[in-house]
A and B are shown apart, each in its own frame.
Chain A
Amino acid sequence: MNRYEVFLKKLGRDEFRHAGSLDAADPEMAVMYARETHNRRAEGSEMWLVDRRHVLVADPESMAVNDQKPHRHNDGSRVAARRKENRNSEA
């Protein structure tokens, strides 16, 4: 038995989304199980199956470094503050 991860995509611009996992003896059975378990009411128009052994998982530490780079966001608050200051000084 191999364990597969199932992804479905609806017609349109949505991305593929994880739908669940399943055990199957071979790829053909896996596709059939996935269709019968996850797509009984046409929940997707496209389906991907990936053997779980081929899904790479990044270490949490490697993801955390980007949490400390607020300069990569700009919520506009500095510009708003500067404009407010200018308005106040004109008044």
Chain B
Amino acid sequence: MHTLADAPTDGRTWSDLDDFQAFIDAGGMVEPGDDMPDEFRSEVFRFIEFHANSELMGGLTERDWIPHAPGLRLKQIFLAKTQDEIGHAHLLYMVAADMGVKTRTEMLEQLFDGRSRFHNVFHYKAVTWADQVAIAFLVDAAAFASQRAVFAECTYGPYKRVLKRIVAEEGFHMRHGEEMLLRLATGTDTQRVMFQDALTRWWWPAVHLFGPDSPSGDTDPLIRWKIKSQRNEVLRQAYVQKYVPLLHGYGFDIPDNELHQDADGLWQAGSIDWEPLKATMRNGGPDSARRIATAAGNWADTAWVREALEQ
């Protein structure tokens, strides 16, 4: 017998990766006490750390817009969204830290040092309030679709359990996004132009969020281990099918000259330039340096709170 704090790996063991794969294929769920293969531990950790970083950086951008949100109801909504995103980061950093690869402090310090990665969409500047609406309508929806596809299977137990909560709350954010878009779409000409400009800036980053096509066959370990349930291109295609008609319905133009419906009526996006995505993954996006510096500044400014709590 031991206590939960001792964290021994006296759970299940597997003789090799094939044995582990057979366990996963039979519907197995991995728990922190299991002696999981190193490859699984490091890949799943990286994935959760990326997700945690993205929630934190996303929460900080929501926070920036609280004072600028028009009206009390929208300020309340942005306060709640900020709390949700930071709360998701808390949950995810805890799950990641319990994998024993890095401590939460190490993850945060590396993020603020610019040595870590987070979602491409948080490397761009939100120019006007309409950008924030485009983010809520397009980007939250893309993130929601991609998280739901992880939640659908997700063979790492603690991650699946926090995703249940995260996905539920992102559902609220999506509805807020629809409500905000509806206000602009049915507003004045100026409001419609503002949203069209924002859509022109945010369409491609939202499409990029799903990532390039997954490696062919079953060579993506995250798909093989059933952390991801869908290939990137499948999720991206489903997103395009849903959002092109929605945006057209509101009378907005999608900034893709090659976008068309094929013989089966399916919307096909034009060829995708992945360079902007790659730049964000090097923390070299249009607004990466400012965003990371702001987050690092917040971390430094609040050092005294952490020190006081440690007393």
Contacts and interface: CB of A to CB of B under 8 A. Distances in A.
Contacts of A60: 10-12
B3 A56 contact: yes
B87 A52 contact: no
A40 B206 CA distance: 28
Q: How large is the interface on B (under 10, 10 to 19, 20 to 34, 35 or more residues)?
A: 20 to 34
Nearest to B162: A20
B72 interface: no
A3 to B, nearest CB: 7
Interface string B1-27: 111111000111000000000000000
A21 B3 contact: no
Contacts of B10: 59-60
A52 B3 contact: yes
B122 to A, nearest CB: 21
A8 to B, nearest CB: 11
A59 to B, nearest CB: 6
B83 interface: yes
Interface stretch (B90-98, B240-248, B281-289): B90-98
Contacts of B6: 57
Interface string A11-46: 000000000111101100100010011001001000
Given A1-B310, A29-B309, A60-B10, A22 B90 contact: yes
Contacts of A57: 1-4, 6, 33
B87 A36 contact: yes
A43 B164 CA distance: 13
Interface in B187-238: none
Contact of B83 (A23, A36, A51, A54): A36
A1 to B, nearest CB: 7
A21 B4 CA distance: 11
A37 B90 contact: yes
Interface of A: 1, 3, 5, 20-23, 25-26, 29, 33, 36-37, 40, 43, 51-60, 62
29 contacts: A20-B161, A20-B162, A22-B94, A26-B309, A29-B309, A36-B87, A37-B90, A37-B91, A40-B83, A40-B87, A51-B5, A52-B3, A52-B4, A52-B5, A53-B3, A53-B4, A53-B5, A54-B3, A55-B3, A55-B4, A55-B5, A56-B4, A57-B3, A59-B1, A59-B10, A60-B10, A60-B11, A60-B12, A62-B1
